[in-house]
Amino acid sequence: MQSAEEKFAQWTGFYRRAQAILRAGRRGLKKLNGAEITRLIDDYQALTADLARARSLGAARETVDQLNRIAVTGHNLLYGQIRLRESTAAARGFASFASAVRRHAWAVTLSALMFFGSAVVSFVAVQLHPSLAYDLLADEFLDFDPASPDNLHSIPSLARPVVSSLIISNNIQVTLLAFGFGLTAGIGTTVLLIFNGIHLGSVAGWMSLHGKDRALWGWIMPHGATELLAICLAGAAGYMLASAIIVPGRLRRATALKRVGAQALTIELGCMVMLVIAGVIEGFVSPSAIDYPTRIGVLLASIALWALYFLGAGRNRGARPAEPPGDSLVS
């Protein structure tokens, strides 16, 4: 039986060592030798046993608090090294994005309806009532001529890297908002999707009224499929979060959110990769001098590739894809 002083010296000694190792950062524990680690663990176990005994004997709150705080520090040190497999499983593998999308096809459908639905409605509305465009569109789009050499359609090659990175960061920001706003029970996501859909539809409607549609589609086609699909999928990730709030089922809302969160994150991260691809195409390919049939070819190729990926990847479990996962899918 140790005296109180010995106990106290043991606890504070453990606390000071734990603090020093924690302060040394991630490599702190790795520098210790076997005996030191054994001693650390022994001291931690003695400490937690003392804590449990103090609690069950009903010791003074101050005593329990002090022991508890030292134990929390020790816990942070010793368990801080644990990497649970669970925390990386969701983001593992090339196919996880595709299978998450397939599993939540309802959310993708809803998101696509909101986005393309409002685009089609506003396209038709502008065809029927061209004056609407003056309300829906900013001035620069009313005067916008996709075929003129002064605008985006022909970005000077020197500016292309900058334009490309601006497009990528802007689009990723939009998808992050569509994802996060799912937590407003989907209201924010819906507003964002409809707002962007109306913008797309009314620009297209206005251009086709003025006979510029061929130039516009030529501009959009190379990157369009990838970019618009990514925005739809980000909306779907937002609706997944919304579903946990609106229909949590038998779970508490916080629990339901936690369950769906990992899958929604996988989709959102996948969208970011898609938007980087789309942004590079939009910055370098779309403004280049390639002819119209090639543009259609790029569009068809990208549709085919995404269809192949989303419908096929990870279908047959067990068979691992040869392609390693993309960087931003790694969590």
Q: How far is the CB of 13 from another protein (least distance, A)?
A: 10
In angstroms, the CA 325 to CA 327 distance is 6
Q: What's the burial of 135, exposed, middle or buried (CB within 10 Å: 0-12/13-18/19+)?
A: exposed
Residue 327 per-residue DSSP state: G
CA 278, 281, 284, 286 torsion-angle sign: negative
**Which positions from 99 through 128 interact with another protein, judged by CB under 8 A?**
none
Residue from the set 32, 73, 127, 213 that interacts with another protein by CB under 8 A: 73
Q: For another protein, what does the binding mask look like between residues 151 and 170, x meaning CB under 8 A?
A: -------xxxxx-xxx-xx-
CA 191, 247, 254, 237 torsion-angle sign: negative
Q: 177 or 296: whose CB is closer to another protein?
A: 177
Residue from the set 179, 217, 239, 310 that interacts with another protein by CB under 8 A: 179
Instruction: Tell whether residue 288 is a contact of another protein (CB under 8 A).
Output: no
Q: 25 or 293: whose CB is closer to another protein?
A: 25
CA 120 to each of CA 146, 224, 296: distance values in angstroms, whole numbers, following the listed order = 20, 16, 21
Instruction: Tell whether residue 265 is a contact of another protein (CB under 8 A).
Output: yes
Residue from the set 144, 181, 206, 310 that interacts with another protein by CB under 8 A: 181
Joined together, the tokens standing for residue 211 give: 């006979």
In angstroms, the CA 199 to CA 174 distance is 14
Q: 23 or 317: whose CB is closer to another protein?
A: 23
CA 298, 165, 232, 130 torsion-angle sign: negative
Rounded (10°) CA dihedral 183, 174, 232, 303: -150
Q: How far is the CB of 314 from another protein (least distance, A)?
A: 19
Instruction: Tell whether residue 172 is a contact of another protein (CB under 8 A).
Output: yes
Q: How far is the CB of 209 from another protein (least distance, A)?
A: 34
Instruction: Tell whether residue 69 is a contact of another protein (CB under 8 A).
Output: yes
Q: 109 or 173: whose CB is closer to another protein?
A: 173
Instruction: Tell whether residue 59 is a contact of another protein (CB under 8 A).
Output: yes
Residue 325 per-residue DSSP state: P
Instruction: Tell whether residue 331 is a contact of another protein (CB under 8 A).
Output: yes
Residue from the set 21, 40, 43, 71 that interacts with another protein by CB under 8 A: 71
For 124-149, the DSSP string reads HHHHH-TTHHHHHS-HHHHS--TTST
Residue from the set 30, 37, 42, 65 that interacts with another protein by CB under 8 A: 65
Q: 110 or 257: whose CB is closer to another protein?
A: 257
| 3-class DSSP state of 15 | helix
φ/ψ of 59, rounded to 5, equals -65, 165
Q: 139 or 252: whose CB is closer to another protein?
A: 252
In angstroms, the CA 331 to CA 328 distance is 7
Q: How far is the CB of 162 from another protein (least distance, A)?
A: 5
Instruction: Tell whether residue 246 is a contact of another protein (CB under 8 A).
Output: no
Joined together, the tokens standing for residue 186 give: 């989907």
**Which positions from 184 through 243 interact with another protein, judged by CB under 8 A?**
184, 188, 241
**Which positions from 17 through 46 interact with another protein, judged by CB under 8 A?**
45
